[in-house]
């Protein structure tokens, strides 16, 4: 996959709109995938947590307030600047790091690594996942949430006056990239699930749990259009762990 424009430049330009959206804890976040992520993270007290691609640092701060020593990293200096001013907590730290290069983090130091809606925004995930495998302690877990590779970027199709009758999936197995415009132009990197599983396996990791979260009742009361996500998932959440060495 070739992308001529630097993805970090695009995210720095989109950062302000993203931060405004994230600070309101969007309906998709709180009614679909965040409850699943939080359940998979579990008790973080006295654990070292890495929030990979932390954005403006909301999850980093939450895990710190729940008792973790939390480090949030992101390649966007705009995101990290806002995180350092808006999500301060006694045991929360933030740093600018390029997620496509080796991390300046000691090996076997992290109990939990979370990549919340990040991997589909990275042009090369091989190094990132290899680094996660390196820094995780024995028994540590890597929690991944992302847009669903099979369905998220497919358009809804209309049938019998239903504007959300089904989704047409095409060219699923080819790795592609395309611009998206949720907060300004960024790039979405599509990979089939097998790519993610193969890279995890290559780096000594296995999937312990896989969820395709659906909206909760409160969310659907706020926005009835979320009911369409009861039939076709837009997101996927995985809990992975290092295999015994």
Highest mean pLDDT among 11-25, 146-160, 177-191, 215-229: 146-160
Find residue 171's DSSP bridge partners. Answer: none
Cα(121)–Cα(225) distance, integer angstroms: 26
Interacting residues of 33 by C-beta distance below 8 A, sequence separation 6+ = 117, 145, 213, 235, 237
**Would the pLDDT of 24 be above 50?**
no
pLDDT score, position 4: 39
Of all helices (H) and strands (E), which one includes residue 16? helix 7-23
At residue 243, the pLDDT reads: 84
What is this structure's pTM? Answer: 0.88
3-state class of 44 per DSSP? Answer: coil
> Which DSSP letter does residue 197 get?
H
| Cβ pair 243, 142 in contact under 8 A | no
Where is average pLDDT lowest: 2-6, 26-30, 41-45?
A: 2-6
At the topology level, CATH places domain 7-242 in Rossmann fold (3.40.50)
Quote the tokens at residue 44.
């973080």
Residue 31 and residue 237: Cα distance in Å, rounded? 14
Pairing relation of β-strands 162-167 and 176-180? unpaired
Each residue of 33-61: pLDDT tens digit? 999 999 999 999 999 999 999 988 999 99
């Amino acid at each position: 996959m070739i992308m001529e424009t630097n993805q970090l430049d695009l995210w720095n330009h989109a950062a302000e709109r993203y931060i405004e959206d994230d600070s309101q804890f969007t309906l998709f976040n709180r009614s679909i995938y965040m409850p699943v992520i939080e359940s998979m993270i579990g008790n973080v007290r006295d654990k070292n947590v890495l929030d990979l691609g932390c954005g403006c640092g909301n999850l980093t701060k939450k895990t710190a307030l729940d008792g973790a020593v939390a480090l949030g990293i992101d390649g966007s200096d705009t995101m990290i600047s806002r995180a350092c001013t808006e999500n301060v907590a006694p045991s929360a730290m933030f740093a600018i790091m390029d997620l496509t290069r080796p991390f300046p983090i000691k090996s076997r130091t992290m109990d939990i690594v979370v990549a919340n809606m990040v991997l589909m925004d990275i042009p090369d995930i091989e190094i990132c996942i290899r680094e996660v495998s390196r820094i995780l302690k024995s028994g540590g877990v890597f929690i991944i949430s992302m847009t669903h590779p099979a369905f998220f970027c497919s358009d809804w199709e209309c049938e019998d006056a239903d504007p959300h009758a089904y989704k047409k999936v095409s060219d699923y197995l080819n790795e592609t990239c395309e611009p998206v415009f949720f907060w300004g132009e960024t790039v979405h990197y599509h990979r089939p699930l097998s790519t993610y599983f193969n890279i995890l396996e290559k780096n000594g990791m296995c999937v312990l749990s896989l969820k395709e979260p659906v909206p909760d009742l409160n969310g659907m009361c706020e926005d009835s259009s979320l009911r369409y996500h009861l039939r076709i998932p837009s997101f996927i959440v995985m809990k992975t762990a290092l295999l015994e060495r």
